[in-house]
Amino acid sequence: MRKSQVSGFEDLDENQFSDMYRIAACQKGPAYASLEPLLADDKPLRTRVRKPRDPAQPHLPFEPMPERVEPCLALLKARPPTGPEWTYEIKWDGYRVAVHIEPQRVRVITRGGHDWTHRFPGIVEAAKQLGVATAILDGEAVVLDEQGRPDFGRLQNSLGGRGGKLSAGDAMLYVFDHLYFDGHDIRSMELSSRRFFLESLLRGEEGAIRLSEEVDGEGSEIFKAAADHGLEGIIAKNRDSAYRSGRFGDWVKIKCIQSDSFMIVGYEHSVSARGGIGSLMLAARTGNDLVYVGSVGTGFKERDALQLRKMLDRLKRKSPPVGHAGARKDLVWAQPTLIAEIEYCVWTHDGKLRHASFKGLREAQDNAAVFSIE
């Protein structure tokens, strides 16, 4: 375009008019700029047709998704911490898993790094419907009882017991953290920001994947309410903390009911008890050794007892793997291989479990930590 074609610019010389035109073209956009060729030799610009995006990669990641993330673990405390920096949630009683959502697949990875995708088909299908291209969700796979409380025994039974091959179609995932979102690793962000993304993604979801809600209130009151409802406990989290793999105190667990993992080192044979097991002999770790911590004779049904008897009889040994466990003839000792989740009230003065109850066997893939006595 030339100066003679536009009225109102007669007082400008050709250089001034050219500068004004370029400024106007930048402000008005391509429609205005197209009135004059941009190249000095007046040749029109030509562009190549863009290649369509591969539908298998709807969003190219900015940061690579980790194959696996070691979980952030909660530190056990006797009382809930207080202060504005702490937020509280229910402590779910199930299997800790991470759900990796990728463009072509969904993976469910256990705390120990094993792939359990095939064991939670309902959770996998729900993850595919979330409408997010890539994500890593951290949560707990549970099965609820009639009162809506997580029941570890029911979860175990739905999976076919320890070493079972069944898929837990009735299991659901309560998600409490978000580690990776649409191509971005967000573990370095504070918890409050990660929760913002998580709530935006899961708010209103009522299927097999649900949000683990934060509970408003003072820590001790929330803990008391959890105990009154028969829950295992609560988790307190520092809302300003990043996601750090390991046990650093950013997350704290406070248990209403004591529940820990112990090694089964044998059983008391009984001709009158169901399955022939009167009680299971339990041990905890102390350094590199095992120490006897008592027995448990309640909590398992006849089917559980029969299954335990078969497994323990394959692990028989002549001498006890722990000391100070007694020398009665009705005791059958076993190689310390099976790990049981045990609920109990307190420890006695001589280091034994009081009012213990069997909840189920822990899977080796779950990487359950056997209780350690300092």
| Digit-coded pLDDT (tens) for 276-335 | 898 999 999 988 899 999 999 988 888 888 899 999 999 999 888 987 666 667 899 999
Rounded to whole angstroms, the Cα distance separating 184 from 201 reads 15
Distance of CA 287 to CAs 137, 247, 290, 326, 371, Å?
34, 18, 8, 22, 11
pLDDT over 80 at 2, yes or no: no
CA distances to 80, 259, 362 from 94, in Å: 21, 12, 10
For residue range 180-217, list pLDDT tens digits in order.
Answer: 999 999 999 999 999 999 999 998 888 999 999 999 99
Please name every residue paired with 87 in a beta bridge, in sequence order, or none if there are none. 237
According to DSSP, the residues that pair with 37 across neighbouring strands are none
- DSSP annotation of 177: E
DSSP of 267-285, one letter per residue?
EEE-SSSGGGEEEEEEEEE
Per-residue model confidence (pLDDT) at position 33 = 41
What confidence tier does 128 reach under pLDDT thresholds 50, 70, 90? very high
Q: Which of 282, 304, 302 is nearest to 291 (CA)?
A: 282
The Cα 291–Cα 370 span in angstroms is 11
Q: Provide the β-strand partners of residue 172.
A: 142
Residue 31: pLDDT band with limits 50, 70, 90? very low
Q: Where are the domains of the chain?
A: 1-47, 75-255, 258-366
As a CATH number, domain 258-366 is 2.40.50.140
Contact 111, 74 (CB under 8 A): no
Helix, strand, coil share of the chain (percent; to 5): 20, 30, 50
User: Which CATH fold would you assign to the domain 75-255?
Assistant: D-amino Acid Aminotransferase; Chain A, domain 1 (3.30.470)
Distance, in Å, from the CA atom of 334 to the CA atom of 309, rounded to the nearest integer, reads: 11
* Residue 32 scores a pLDDT above 50: no
Residue 4 pairs in a beta bridge with none
Mean confidence (pLDDT) of the chain: 83
pLDDT of residue 30: 43
Quick one: tokens of 124? Answer: 């996998």
Check 43, 51, 77, 91 and give the catalytic one.
91
Nearest 5°: the CA angle 117, 70, 150 is 55
User: Tell me, what's the pLDDT at 36?
Assistant: 44
Question: Residue 91 catalytic?
Answer: yes
| Calpha distance 308→332 (Å, rounded) | 12
Q: Two tokens at 198?
A: 């998580």
Token pair of 113 as six digits: 């790094």
One-letter identity of residue 351: G
**Cα–Cα distance for residue pair 171/160, rounded to 1 Å:** 13
- Looking at residue 369, its pLDDT comes to 83
Determine the Cα–Cα distance for residues 374 and 369; give it in Å rounded to an integer.
14
Taking the mean position of all CA atoms in its chain, how far away is CA 263? 24
Q: Would you state the structure tokens that stand for residue 298, as one six-digit string? A: 């309640």
Q: Could you tell me which of 148, 104, 156, 158 has the C-alpha nearest to residue 127?
A: 104
